[in-house]
Amino acid sequence: MSEIRVLVNGARGKMGATTVAAVRAAEGMTLVAETDLGDALADAIRTSRADVVVDFTHPGSVFENCRTILSAGAHGVIGTTGLSASQLEELSQLCARIEKNLLVAPNFAIGAILMMRFAAEAAPWMDRCEIIERHHDGKADAPSGTALKTAELVAAARADIPWKTGAAEKETLPGSRGGQASGLRIHSVRLPGYLAHQEVVFGAAGQTLVIRHDSLDRNCFMPGVILAVRKVAALPGLTYGLERLLFG
């Protein structure tokens, strides 16, 4: 089988640089180009004849990058967060038209995928749930894509059972109860010292259950990224979430 030709976009960034090293070390793939802000991505894809582009850039540019990747004839493995539901829908249609694939994963850490799965499993059995996510202070978006995805999965697992409600509450300080997504409260902490951490906290009478994942080093994302690079060509259209590769 021929080697997969990989271009890393955002290669000077923290995740991009880690991906460059991981692709170089992986069997069955060749790093054919590195691009970053200011480079002509479409030209680089065509010149390098990249099969797959890995994108770790910025939430403000990821949608346009995805369109460029597909239009230039490559598959995309997208780790950059911040794509909205309507943008994902638009990209899914573009994938179908162009017959190139995107794998978009808000979290490539396999432990984080397991955290989400275990949280979905717990959801029907507990009364309430809130999410606390902590990230480094350089993160551009809040809440994290992982927190949004977790809320979506937990809510779906609980679709037929309403959550128990507490006493009526009034925020005397606006925002103190966090934001809401899929009916769950999400609290985002941004501080130097953190990398990426999340707790899914369940409560019921007389007990709490905390499902927690900590990314301590950016290498934790690399097995997931490399797996996605290997598989994306065989996953028609837009695939959202690494779990599709792990659990089918």
Ligand X SMILES: NC(=O)c1ccc[n+]([C@@H]2O[C@H](COP(=O)([O-])OP(=O)(O)OC[C@H]3O[C@@H](n4cnc5c(N)ncnc54)[C@H](OP(=O)(O)O)[C@@H]3O)[C@@H](O)[C@H]2O)c1
Residues engaged in binding ligand X (CB under 6 A): 9-10, 12-16, 35-37, 56-59, 61, 65, 79-81, 105-108, 139, 221
Type of residue found at 165: T
In the bound state, the residue with its beta carbon closest to ligand X is 13
Q: Give every CB contact of residue 48 below 8 A, 6+ residues apart in sequence.
A: 5, 7, 32, 33
- Least Cβ distance, residue 117 to ligand X (angstroms): 16
Q: In the annotation, is 213 catalytic?
A: no
Choice among 75, 100, 135, 187 that is catalytic = 135
Q: In the annotation, is 139 catalytic?
A: yes
- Least Cβ distance, residue 55 to ligand X (angstroms): 8
Choice among 75, 100, 139, 197 that is catalytic = 139
Give the DSSP per-residue string, 145-192: HHHHHHHHHHHHHTTTSPPPP-S----SSTTTT-EEETTEEEEEEE-T
- Least Cβ distance, residue 166 to ligand X (angstroms): 32
Residue with smaller CB distance to ligand X, 98 or 195: 195
Type of residue found at 207: Q
Q: Which strands sit side by side in the sheet containing 238-240, from one edge to the other?
A: 29-35, 4-9, 52-55, 75-78, 102-104, 238-240
99: tokens are 């017959």
- Least Cβ distance, residue 1 to ligand X (angstroms): 27
Instruction: Quote the CA–CA distance of 180 and 169 in Å, as a whole number.
Output: 15
Residue with smaller CB distance to ligand X, 36 or 199: 36
As annotated, the active-site residues are: 135, 139
